[in-house]
Amino acid sequence: MGRTPVRVLGVDPGLTRCGIGVVDGPPAAPVLVAKELVRTPREDPLEVRLDALHRAVAGAIARYRPHAIAVERVLFSSNVRSAMATGQAAGVALLAAAQARVPVTPYSPNDVKLTVAGHGGADKAEVGRMVAMQLGLAAAPRPADVADALAIALTHLAQARMGTARPQVAVGGGGARSRGWEAVLDNPHLRVAGGTAPGKRRLP
């Protein structure tokens, strides 16, 4: 097992644009396996867009057979419409992971920035550059959604090496059971932050 590379599929959830990135360990020398951008037309009904997103994520899981899935924990402070849409996209990714019986770990935007760039104030360009450096790429992956998905996957590899990664959706004999996400949503002091800035994405 120690000689088998750990494969992580990272998801940067979004309804209009969802980034998917797959990397192989070891953490000290990660390798890019695949990167995809899933788009859903704004003019389509919400249920159609969510179905398309689910099929895309489930298809990526089936193709790349990851050992673990990492998803950005989407928290917002304003723009309820954006929060709902991105939260729905994250839920679809969690569903696809549970159906495939692959453990999922969420990471906040700050977790990702701290791990990949070394500080929580890193912007998308800096995260993209650090992703390129760690994966030995000539340039930052584009678009930013894909770079973010790869950064999320790299974060899981790094956290797993340090022994701090804790799956929030664990799969047992009776199917998937969730841990952690409900606690986040039930927190009365929840203050949501992160995700796509207001005005960057039009929603149905």
With respect to residue 192, please indicate whether it lies within any of the assigned structural domains. no
List of E strands, the chain: 7-12, 17-24, 31-39, 68-72, 104-107, 169-172, 175-178
Looking at the structure of the chain, the number of domains it has is: 1
* For residue 18, pLDDT beyond 50: yes
Note if 145 is an active site residue.
Answer: yes
* For residue 92, pLDDT beyond 50: yes
With respect to residue 96, please indicate whether it lies within any of the assigned structural domains. yes
Domain span at residue 17? 7-186
With respect to residue 191, please indicate whether it lies within any of the assigned structural domains. no
Q: Which of 24, 36, 72, 111 is catalytic?
A: 72
Q: Which of 24, 36, 111, 145 is catalytic?
A: 145
pLDDT tens per residue across span 110-146: 999 999 988 888 888 999 999 999 999 999 999 999 9
Note if 12 is an active site residue.
Answer: yes
Average pLDDT over residues 173-200: 41
Does the predicted model carry a pTM greater than 0.85? no
With respect to residue 203, please indicate whether it lies within any of the assigned structural domains. no
Q: Which of 12, 24, 36, 148 is catalytic?
A: 12
